[in-house]
Homo-oligomer: A and B are copies of this chain.
Amino acid sequence: MAELFGRVAIIGIGLIGSSIARALKENDVCREIVVGDINAAHGRRAEELGLCVAAHTDVAKAVDAADLVILCTPMSTYESIAERIAPALKQRAVVTDVGSVKQAAIKAVKPRLPSHARWIAGHPVAGTENSGPDAGFATLFKGRWCIVTPESDTDADAQAQVQAMWTAFGSNVVSMDAEHHDLVLAITSHLPHLIAYTIVGTATDLEMTLQSEVIKFSAGGFRDFTRIAASDPIMWRDVFLNNREAVLEMLQRFTEDLSHLQRAIRWGEGHKLEELFTRTRSIRRSIIEAKQA
């Protein structure tokens, strides 16, 4: 395809950042890539892997002359990174991110950028439980959704360019309100992760004799939770701290529903269990029909 950008700066070269670097190269989306990462070892590894022309531990250096800057770091770093890169941004540079909570991303980054910079928040709904520059791969975003959350003053060209990039990666791009995004992701992603972390934690607190058997017999259902609960700890800590309201709301609903089932088990009310279990089966069918399975 025709190059969408000259220089792209990727800040944070972990699973998502390094997947973006690989996808940018594989799809000829830009002329060159520069990496900014406070972890010098990750920057060097990115250079070794040929993911960039240069890597800097100073993010301000990394964004120099970049037409597009993509934040791929945990959300707790957004404020300080935005402050640090602001004076170094090229005129009319496009700035985007990949964070899992959009209202908080906007609040952390936007007010710190210079008025000439063009900000558009984004969130590719894709990932694995692995981390670091070696974990990424170019097809991570293929066939997956990427959500952009423009605001009333978002530059239309900037949005179109960022969307074109995700489309080039094979993503299905949708645009929605940041608040709505945070609510939808709270139930489809944040709550499932919280629950998976919890149950795996509950299992690790069992007596040692039981613990080894939990691992041994994990194929019974537990295994699926351990995969989710192996996701990046810092990234997920930041997700929960930044989407607190929506996560607590969904958690409240979940807890009520779980208490209802607990009571049904205690009192032997089989029909209540059967009713729910029959209903949930149809949701799976909908997902298979929507080709997200």
Contact = CB atoms under 8 A, between A and B. Distances in A.
Interface in A216-261: 216-231, 233-234, 236-238, 240-241, 244, 247-248, 250-251, 253-255, 257-258, 261
Interface stretch (A54-62, A81-89, A109-117, A275-283): A275-283
Q: What DSSP secondary structure best describes chain A's contact surface?
A: helix
A274 B238 CA distance: 9
B192 A221 contact: yes
A125 interface: yes
Q: Could you say how many copies of this chain the assembly holds?
A: 2
A283 B203 contact: yes
Contacts of A201: 257, 276, 279-280
A258 B195 contact: yes
A254 B259 CA distance: 12
Interface residues of A, number: 89
Contact of A270 (B187, B191, B210, B241): B241
Given A277-B236, A292-B215, A287 B188 contact: no
A228 B218 contact: no
23 contacts: A145-B217, A145-B219, A184-B210, A184-B214, A187-B206, A187-B210, A189-B220, A191-B199, A192-B199, A192-B222, A192-B224, A197-B276, A198-B258, A201-B279, A204-B279, A205-B257, A215-B283, A215-B287, A224-B225, A224-B228, A236-B277, A237-B277, A255-B258
